[in-house]
Amino acid sequence: MSVTATAIPIQKRSGHPRPQRRRIRSSLAERIAPYAYVAPFFVIFAIFGLFPLLFTFYVALFDWNPIGEQTFVGFANFERLFADPRFWNAFVNTFGIFLISTIPQLLLALVLAHLLNHARLKWANFFRMSLLVPYITSVAATALVFGQIFDKNFGLLNWILEIFGLPSVNLLASQVGSWVVISAMVMWRWFGYNALLYLAGLQAIPREMYEAASVDGASSWQQFIHLTIPSLRPIIIFTVIMSTIGGLQIFTEPLLVAPETGLTCGAGRQCQTLSLFLYEQGFGQFEFGYGSAIGVALFVIVVVAALINFFLSTRTRGGN
Amino acid sequence: MNRRMLAIPIAAIGALALALTGCSSGGSSAEGDPNAEFEFWSFTGIGQQESVDRYLEKNPDAKVKLSEVGSTTETATALTAALAGGKVPDLVMIQNDDLPKFVENPGNFIDLRTLGGDDIGDDYLDWAIDAATGEDGSIIGIPTDVGGLSFAYRADLFEAAGLPTDPEEVAEMWSTWDGFIEMGKKYTAATGQPFVDNVETTVFFATVNQVSEKYYSDDGELIFDSNPQVEEAFQVAVDTYEAGISAGIAAWSSGWAPGKANGAFAVTTAPSWILSGLKNDAPDTEGKWRIASIPGVGGNWGGSVIAIPARADNPEAAWQYIDTMLSPEGQTEHFADTGTMPAAKGALESEDVLSYTDPFFGDSAIGKVMSDSVLQFNSFYNGPDTSAIGGALLNALVDMEVGNVLPADAWKTGVDSAKAAIGG
């Protein structure tokens, strides 16, 4: 196979493609086989990925009652969406939680990876493995435990505050407070995963480069800025984009953080994210059309944010 | 060429699928047999199996496949998905809060008048039947139970505060909501403790249902923002909060169960189905609680109907269950078995219900209080957005209690978010 594969361009370049093409056509099975091998993924993706995506765009144009009438309304759902204070509230919440959770998380992961990469670290494998423990813990379990830590009546946090004679706080009642609680959950769950990605990147940097930098008199900070960061750039771009996509779709944590808050994440919707708003409208109120419009808006927001990320991340290369 | 070759197997598969589904729907030989196996969707935690066992005792030949789907909301969600294009059950329970959006499209269900006659609703509470009646007059559900509404209060704490402890005296003293707030002020002044657990579920849920028209007018117009009755009901909750007698502990929040045990508040809302939870949450307070009628007149929280989807495989079998179990006699018996408040007028006036007491609640006349509350309850029209509007107003009160909204702004906040919720 590899011989044939490399042979084709050579043949093309030399201007004699005909005999080769005829030979391939003669074997139909050989031509179809590669497509057959990749087909299962694409068939399943088409059914469970592409079709729902396109169907969402379609449903968003309707006033769609799943057990009643479906009326075409054009862009009325989107007009309503942009005038809906609940949508903008969810938008602000989503970005608030995203910023509070992602930026410190990635910085922390970078520092941690740097420490774990230290040549003289004992038990290095143990520490590296334990980073994955939060990641393999169920989100639901994480959310319940964090919810209890920050509970206003019997939470661990308020218990500690009480010991020091401080007044108890009800973090979940305020907007910024509930963002902090949810961000803490996201950070706890993901920083180890990102640290491991960075660690893998760090280990691929040859030690000789650091030795050469030391010989040239670079301080360890200068080594970090001018050697480590540029070498890790592809991985940093990857983690930033993945965190953006995940962070903007955050759902389970705000849903489960407190039992009484429900689909609005609090009476004032103080921590309701866009995905949770989508779920509330689509599957709480059964407004499928409006829920789909939120889904389309969320899709556009994620794509735009990922593109901005990508351009910002690649731009830094030019400044080097 | 390729495309045509692909088309053949696809067409074949399609034909096969059609043949298979055709087979399954046409092949049910049990059509019309009242003892054929039928599928029954119920909620978890209401002991439905006991009723089914009782039914099988009466009809040994019948076959029931009971599925306890989940909470009331989860069951309604599953039913919505099934009606939208899945396998529907033959018989399904729907909680009253979820009912309006199903009643809005009565065609999804069998009009039970076709099975039980036009007078089928006469045995039941008018408002409970009205809630299950579509615009075209079709009755899609038979009420299985109601919630009733009372207040539970701590007699020992009342006594310590110098208030009367006998349920009838208490009910007399708080016969109006003003009287209720006055009592609360006395209690809080005497003990330094809050009087009531919260204003949203205990006060607002009670007051907003003591109206002649709620969020919709009788002919189905949305009037929640202009109906003075709703605003007054809301204002009672705000006044209660401003009197400083609310503990601000939301129902089912982490502080609620311990609050019932440790006296963080003396009064909480008590529809009939909440009583067992109160016993579980505060077992050491046995004998200290009393049950009294709520201020104002009439009340209800909860209740369900049972319905047969239009696409059900065995409607006759499902109907036989309804006919056997939901008659006034059947509901009286069910009350004796499980303590579920009946929705049939005859059962509510039966001796079994009226004489019901419980030593945990100091032998208060629970049955009489609950029965009165639903017999005096007003019928009003509930539309598809009733629960969304109610949720928005309730959340405004919760937000007021945690200090995010000023009492003076609460009504406007609630109305604005209700308007956003219904898209107007």
Alpha helices in chain A (DSSP H): 2-14, 18-26, 28-45, 51-59, 76-82, 85-116, 124-130, 133-136, 139-149, 156-163, 175-203, 207-215, 220-223, 229-248, 252-256, 274-279, 288-318
Residues 6+ apart with CB under 8 A from B29: none
- Which of B372, B316, B321, B311 is closest to B144 using CA atoms? B321
Q: List, as ranges, residues 82-111 from B with C-beta within 8 Å of A.
A: 83-84, 101-102, 104-105, 108
Task: Give, for all 320 residues of chain A, the pLDDT tens digit.
Answer: 344 444 444 444 444 545 555 555 568 888 888 899 999 999 999 999 999 999 999 999 999 988 888 999 999 999 999 999 999 999 999 999 999 999 999 999 998 898 888 767 788 888 888 888 999 999 989 998 998 899 888 889 999 999 999 888 888 888 999 999 999 999 999 999 999 999 999 999 888 888 898 899 888 888 888 888 888 988 998 998 899 989 999 999 999 887 677 888 888 899 999 999 999 999 888 889 999 999 999 999 999 998 888 888 777 654 44
What is the pLDDT, as a whole number, of residue B365? 95
Min Cα distance A18 → chain B (Å) is 23
pLDDT at A283: 86
Interface test with B, best of A55, A59, A67 (most B CBs within 10 A): A67
**Mean pLDDT for chain A overall:** 86
Q: Which residues of A135-146 are buried (b: 16+ CB within 10 A; e: fewer)?
A: eeeebeebbeeb
Question: For the segment B124-174, what is each residue's pLDDT rounded down to a tens digit?
Answer: 999 999 999 998 999 999 999 999 999 999 999 999 999 999 999 999 999
* Bridge partners, B39 (sequence order): B65
Q: What is the pLDDT of residue A120?
A: 76
Chain A residues whose CB is inside 8 A of the B421 CB are: 86, 285
- Residue A118: per-residue pLDDT: 77
CB of B158 within 8 A of CB of B164? yes
- DSSP H helices, B224-348, are 228-242, 256-262, 275-281, 315-325, 328-338, 345-348
Q: Tell me the Ramachandran region of residue B403: left when phi exceeds 0, alpha when psi lies from -120 to 50, beta otherwise.
A: left
B chain contacts of residue A65, beta-carbon cutoff 8 Å: 105
Is the predicted pLDDT of residue B90 greater than 60, yes or no? yes
pLDDT over threshold 90, residue B110: yes
* Alpha carbon of A312: minimum distance to chain B alpha carbons (Å): 37
Alpha-carbon distance of B110 to A23, in angstroms, equals 67
Average pLDDT over residues B393-407: 94
d(CA B308, CA B342): 20
Reported ipTM exceeds the 0.90 cut: no
pLDDT of residue B4: 40
Residue B316: which pLDDT band, with cuts at 50, 70 and 90?
A: very high
pLDDT in tens, B58-70: 999 999 999 999 9
Phi then psi for residue B305, to 5 deg, are -125, 165
Strand order in the sheet with B38-43: B64-70, B38-43, B91-95, B303-307, B141-146
Residue A23's pLDDT is 55
pLDDT reported for residue A22 = 54
The answer, yes or no, to whether residue B424 has pLDDT greater than 60, is no
**Measuring CA to CA, which residue among B27, B21, B142 is closest to residue B85?**
B21
What is the band of B33 on the pLDDT scale with cuts at 50, 70, 90?
confident
Q: Tell if the CB–CB gap between B108 and A67 is shorter than 8 Å.
A: yes
Phi, psi of B403 (to 5 degrees): 95, 10
Q: Average model confidence (pLDDT) for chain B?
A: 90
Tell me the pLDDT band of B339, cut-offs 50, 70 and 90.
Answer: confident
Q: How confident is the model at residue B379 (pLDDT cuts 50, 70, 90)?
A: confident
* B252 in A contact zone (CB under 8 Å): yes
Nearest-by-CA chain B residue for A265: B395
CA distance B142 to chain A (A): 20
Question: What does the pLDDT read at residue A316?
Answer: 60
Cβ neighbours of A86 in B, within 8 Å: 417, 420-421
DSSP state string for B152-175: EEEHHHHHHTT---SHHHHHHHTS
Residues of chain B found within 8 Å of residue A270, distances taken between Cβ atoms: 404
Name every residue in A having a CB less than 8 A away from some CB of B. Answer: 65-69, 80, 84-86, 151-154, 170, 173-174, 258-260, 264, 267-268, 270, 283, 285-286, 290
Q: What is the pTM of this model?
A: 0.83
B407 three-class SS: helix
Contacts of A279 in chain B (CB under 8 A): none
**Out of B16-20, B250-254, B323-327, which region has the weakest mean confidence (pLDDT)?**
B16-20
Taking CA atoms, what residue in B is nearest to A170? B402
Contact A267 B258 (CB under 8 A): no
Asked if A264's CB is within 8 angstroms of B396's CB, the reply is no
How many Cβ atoms from other residues are within 10 Å of residue B53's Cβ?
Answer: 12
Question: What pLDDT score does A12 carry?
Answer: 45
Contacts of A69 in chain B (CB under 8 A): 105
- Hey, is the C-beta of B80 within 8 angstroms of any chain A C-beta? yes
Tell me the Ramachandran region of residue B344: left when phi exceeds 0, alpha when psi lies from -120 to 50, beta otherwise. beta
